[in-house]
């Protein structure tokens, strides 16, 4: 059963990713990106990360994607006839060959390493949100504060960039 869900989410997210890159109209690309984000969040559920599932839906699908669609709506883009790079086949063929090689290596390699203390039973005892919260506000507190300052800077930067420039006043024009 889990295998069926995994196959569905994996294949659907890859298909949505390919559509995002290859569709012509930018709004259609945005909707394909929405499908990709929802299916990737399904993969998070299969990995016992419910908190990240919620964050993915709220922040990515709810905030970032709406921002993209708002900008697309404001700009009223015309779709070009030539929307790919003129020599994209030169990128596509080596990328396909190289990615097949990398995939063959990845599927064959045994992944392993030192295991931590967050076993599935330990996480399921109080839930994933509890585990993330305990870890974030003890060990990762400094990084949390840095991300907060970063987001403040991003908000101020976006406002400053996107503000309508004030018309020059008459006294200063000599």
Partner 1 sequence: MIPLSAYVAVSAVLFITGLLGVLIRRNFIIVLMSVEIMLNAANINLIAFSHYLESMAGQLVALFIIAIAAGEAAIGLAIIIVVFRGKISTNVDEMNFLKW
Q: Which of 150, 146, 149, 118 is nearest to 51 (CA)?
A: 118
Whole-number minimum distance, CB 171 to partner 1, in Å? 25
Is 109 an interacting residue with respect to partner 1 (CB under 8 A)?
A: yes
For every residue of 135-162, DSSP letters joined together read HHTTTSHHHHHHHHHHHHHHHHHHHHHH
Site residues for partner 1, window 120-139 (CB under 8 A)?
120, 128, 131-132, 135-136
Which position has the token pair 């699908």? 61
For partner 1, the closer of residues 125 and 140 by Cβ is: 140
Contact 61, 32 (CB under 8 A): no
Query: How far apart (Å, rounded) are the C-alpha atoms in residues 159 and 161?
Result: 6
| Closest CB to partner 1 among residues 118, 125 | 118
Site for partner 1 in 76-105 (CB under 8 A): 77, 80, 82-85, 88, 91-92, 95, 99, 102-103
Assess 167 for contact with partner 1 (CB under 8 A).
Answer: no
């Amino acid at each position: 059963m889990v295998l069926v869900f995994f196959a569905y989410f994996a294949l659907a997210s890859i298909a949505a990713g390919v559509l995002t890159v290859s569709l012509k109209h930018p709004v259609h690309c945005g909707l394909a990106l929405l499908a990709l984000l929802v299916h990737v969040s399904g993969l998070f559920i299969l990995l016992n990360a419910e908190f990240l599932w919620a964050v993915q839906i709220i922040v990515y699908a709810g905030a970032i994607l709406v921002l993209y669609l708002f900008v697309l709506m404001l700009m009223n883009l015309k779709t070009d006839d030539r929307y790919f790079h003129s020599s994209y086949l030169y990128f596509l063929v080596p990328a396909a060959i190289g990615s097949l090689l990398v995939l063959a290596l990845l599927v064959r390699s045994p992944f392993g390493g030192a295991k931590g203390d967050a076993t599935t039973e330990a996480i399921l005892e109080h839930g994933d949100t509890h585990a993330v919260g305990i870890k974030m506000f003890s060990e990762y507190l400094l990084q949390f504060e840095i991300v907060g300052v970063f987001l403040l800077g991003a908000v101020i930067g976006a406002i400053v960039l996107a503000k309508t420039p004030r018309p020059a006043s008459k006294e200063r024009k000599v």
